[in-house]
Structure 1
């Protein structure tokens, strides 16, 4: 089970390394993080789709993919996402270990392509290539519009806006159609320059690599001042339950509840709260699944998710509109039962076992391991630490932490009667 993790800072960049010969590949993730702001979000969300299309040296997708194929089908990807109150642009490289294919310079050659993608973009006439920008703007408009078609995502977005109107956490990770219309090849270039010059940089590596080898291989990263993290929203007090509803021509209503959780996301209690969530609605044996869905037949699905960075817990339920009020009542009863300690030792043991098993499975996939590293860096805990915290959590811990959960908002997307 033991796995070593190394974290250090050099020239403003924070490195996170898992040195291991367990995998046949080396995975490298470079992230650029900035405060989540409405005025920059749409442009930053679009940028990685443009950057992974081509580089200055490889001015088409076909030209860029050819060298990747010669490097044993190495993978090179770009993406953007929200992380608490940060917007993160990421570049990931997956390449087979050179020692396994007798290609000593394989990682070095693959990292050269990563460097090309990040620091030598395809800029012509002062901006990104216009044909790619037009193409990706059309595609991104479809991504933004698809939010309306995915009713579960739509309802969750509405819930976030209800809980934190105008705040960073309520912003859609894709941006808006209005902002998208204003993006030009030149403005996108300015967004890129801001990313390179102003963002905090983190590097995550999982593979048969030492610290010195990692620093040498990534020496192309710029030296810059170390920047603070902005991913933890301030704790808020709940002042009454906010409610909102809309009606659309859908068959199945969407009932979404937002709870405020008074737990520091950097603390060990945020790990224990995952047990509370597991008992409440995180697993098939949870109270929401067994009582709201199975016993009462009030929902097509009913589940919960703990979002530590948002200090929030969300409940999702697909309901018949006429049953929404009854479903909300039963959901509230399940939380009250948790707060009263009304759960069995068997349920507690099963929940802890499933959380521990999920962490052990992380060690079997480089991508999952990097995802865990990225998400857990704010706590400074190892996987072994987290497993020990879960194993030693008590019934009293569950009751104590359940008491910190308070209903803040209810959103209902009604189906037409």
Structure 2
């Protein structure tokens, strides 16, 4: 029998994962995954991109590259960071990662020791919790409201718990709630951070997927002490299968980050990096994102209108100004995880809310994704969910 590490022995398939496997059936209307709309992937343009890469660079395009990443892509990212996130940076400040998920994993490995503490919003992105778990940290859930993390509560935590090494936040269209921090909240958060010896990981995969709100300054743009690490991604604005993200940090963190990444994968796909860079050079990324936003805003509106029509009044939901998700709150005592088999029996699925809390609990929530399903299936899926919820509340 194979002997595994102590951590490997803690790994197990969750009952949630087993339930979500059922959502792969074509008849299931799944609002579970955070998937972009595939009909918007620029396939025809990418045929031209691939041809241009081979004509210009030939075999060099598929040779090993540097761990830091393809310089022209990092230069394109630096331009976007200034334009969309108000961050002044250069290629040397940026490391290309195999999705921003890799950035989460590496940062936890180089910043946090076993039994030290990671503070995060409550609730927060379940993929981040998965990425951080190998370090075996403790988690502190910082209370939030409809404007994001509550700075006063974070201040109390940092003043009393000196084991907090890293704070993980999603200020823009948060996963899973869809909430965006207003500028005043961001400033108050940074005022707290500047008092303590901690690193902030600002995860922003959704910042350019915005519908009804002007661009807001990122935390990184407010960072005067080099405490904020910014994670970005091409997955939601381009094509997720390329697995391209980026990390921006101070030189000290970048140095350790690159050394760790070398041990993990040597470097991210050199051809994939060129595909993204050439697309930015040959086509209009802003126009592409505008097309994405128009479709997603339409689908968000349709989902929210359908929930108003078909959900019981006791069920509440967020109306996100961007991103991919809305967050549903059920009456106290209802458990979204227990309801899921009943919903799957009607061929509709969501993600139960409990898995977004690192310390568990809070079962009366679930997350819905509106970006991936066509309009008719959004309406039908919400109608089916409403039937289950009404039936449950009538008991």
Normalising to structure 1: TM-score of the pair? 0.26
Task: Please state which structure has a larger fraction of its residues in strand.
Answer: 1
